[in-house]
Amino acid sequence: MEQTAQPPKPLELRYDAVPASVTDARRRAAEYARDAGAEPEGVELAVAEAVANAVVHAFTDRPSGTVLLSAALDGGSMVVSVTDDGNGMRPHPQRGGLGLGLALIGQLTSAFSVSGAPGGGTTLQMTFPIGTGEAR
């Protein structure tokens, strides 16, 4: 008898807000997307942008902090949140950019929002359709 694939359990991972964390966060999110049946390449890129935004722009007043990555299924969607404990998104004095990150996220998600996190920091929440990728 063929077994029905179980939906993945919610994911929650905490990272140091350093550039190297981008790699693991995006890979883990892509893995979750594969299991959930979302499009893994799009999720991977969007999460890379979100975590990189937090690393570069959320800690301009101190060396670093933490970034929380969470993912869960919500009806027919996969919802991913990236929350930092920084001081809000501010331009980094030394590290400019082409301003592509949020534009990419907008193209890769069915919806996204940016809001202040409780206790300070910023939450970027992204919604992806499921059924566009292939669940394992």
Partner 1 sequence: MNGNGSQLRFASSVESRDGVAIAIVALDGELDLGVLDVLEEAIGGQADDGSALVLDLSGLAFVDSAGIHALVTAREGLEEGGTRSALVVAPGSNVERTLDMTGVLERLAAHPDRDSALAAVASAHDD
Residues that bind partner 1 (CB under 8 A): 19-23, 26, 41, 44-45, 48-49, 52, 55-56, 96-98, 100-101, 103-104, 107
Q: How far is the C-alpha of 129 from the C-alpha of 74, rounded, in Å? A: 10
Least spacing, CB of residue 114 vs partner 1, in Å: 16
Q: How far is the C-alpha of 86 from the C-alpha of 66, rounded, in Å? A: 8
Amino acid (1-letter code) at residue 132: T
Nearer to partner 1, 5 or 20 (CB): 20
SS3 letters for 34-98?
HHHCECHHHHHHHHHHHHHHHHHHCCCCCCCCEEEEEEEEECCEEEEEEEECCCCCCCCCCCCCC
Nearer to partner 1, 72 or 132 (CB): 132
Retrieve residue 82's tokens: 């990236």
Least spacing, CB of residue 1 vs partner 1, in Å: 37
Nearer to partner 1, 57 or 78 (CB): 57
Least spacing, CB of residue 107 vs partner 1, in Å: 6
Least spacing, CB of residue 63 vs partner 1, in Å: 16
**Are the CB atoms for 88 and 55 separated by under 8 Å?**
no
Nearer to partner 1, 25 or 36 (CB): 25
